[in-house]
Structure 1
Amino acid sequence: MRALALLAALAAPPAAADTVVAARTIRAQTLIGAQDVAVKKGDVVGAVSDVDTVIGQEARVALYAGRPIRPGDVGPPALVERNQIVALIYAAGGVAIQTEGRSLSRAGPGERVRVMNLASRLTVSGHVLPDGRVQVSN
């Protein structure tokens, strides 16, 4: 009986899944709208299958028409641009220090970014907060 159930499971066609593809060529750093993506039948390993996870995101790399979109190809829109002056915040044990720094790359909320402290000229790393400030990690 187990063998029969196993044969039936193996003989069943695989469930068809959808893959999100670029409807046109999308340049890096472009916000993705509903008109920029399409759904293609078939499952591509590692590709995004839900179109709602892509819409409103920013292309991190160039996306070519008809090619699958992978999770690392998109991300939240950048709040911090390269060379932008940002507020650096360090808080520990009830003490909070705030100073200015210059961002060394682009980053969105929750992403890690390197920043040069303008007062000391030291490079530190931190996470971008939803308001665009950078929380320095220790």
Structure 2
Amino acid sequence: MRGLFIVLALLGPISAQAEIVVPTRTIRAKEVISVADLEVKAQQVPGAVTDVDHLIGQEARVALYPGRPIREGDVGPPAIVDRNDLVVLVFDRQPLSITAEGRALGRGAVGDRIRVMNLSSRTTVTGFIRSDGQIEVK
């Protein structure tokens, strides 16, 4: 056993290389990322994404350039509501349920908080985006 430690000491320090995920092409903001857009690179960068599966189907929040590391904040779920989209506003407190038409004043994904103008009253309200694209007003 002691001989093994001596051999390892003579070999010198062993450096472990981590892998990061980098784009293979320029990915513009608001573009959905696919498998063909990514490659794994042997490098260690603190805060860089290391799992390809975490990025597939996500939307770029900023421009991503080839060979540069992708950070967690650079991507997110794809937006389902764009600015100026017509949306349905929903206020649901049993037994009362109210729906109205509105215009999105921002862009967002499921669960994001967004401002919407009620088209009937021209009042601006804030709500959360549901998976069906409706805005739940609280």
When the two structures are superposed, what TM-score results if normalisation uses the length of structure 1? 0.83
Partner of 2:131: 130
Between 26-35 and 68-77, report the one with greater CA deviation. Answer: 68-77
3-state SS, counterpart of residue 89 of structure 2: strand
Max Rg structure:
2
**Does 2:56 correspond to 1:55?**
yes
Q: Aligned equivalents of 2:27 and 2:18: distance in 1?
A: 24
Partner of 1:19: 20
Partner of 1:8: none
Deviation at 1:18, TM superposition (A): 1.8
Q: Aligned equivalents of 1:136 and 1:17: distance in 2?
A: 45
Q: Detail structure 1 runs of 4+ shifted over 3 Å in the superposition.
A: 11-16
Matches within 5 A, 1:61-72: 61-72=62-73
3-state SS, counterpart of residue 133 of structure 2: coil
When the two structures are superposed, what TM-score results if normalisation uses the length of structure 2? 0.83
CA deviation vs aligned residue, 1:40-84 (integer Å, no higher than 9, x gap) = 222322221111010111111111111111122111221111100
Structure 2 residue runs of 5 or longer lacking an equivalent are 1-11
Deviation at 1:92, TM superposition (A): 2.4
Structure 1 residue runs of 5 or longer lacking an equivalent are 1-10
Between 35-44 and 14-23, report the one with greater CA deviation. Answer: 14-23
Q: Aligned equivalents of 1:12 and 1:134: distance in 2?
A: 57
Q: Aligned equivalents of 1:16 and 1:91: distance in 2?
A: 53
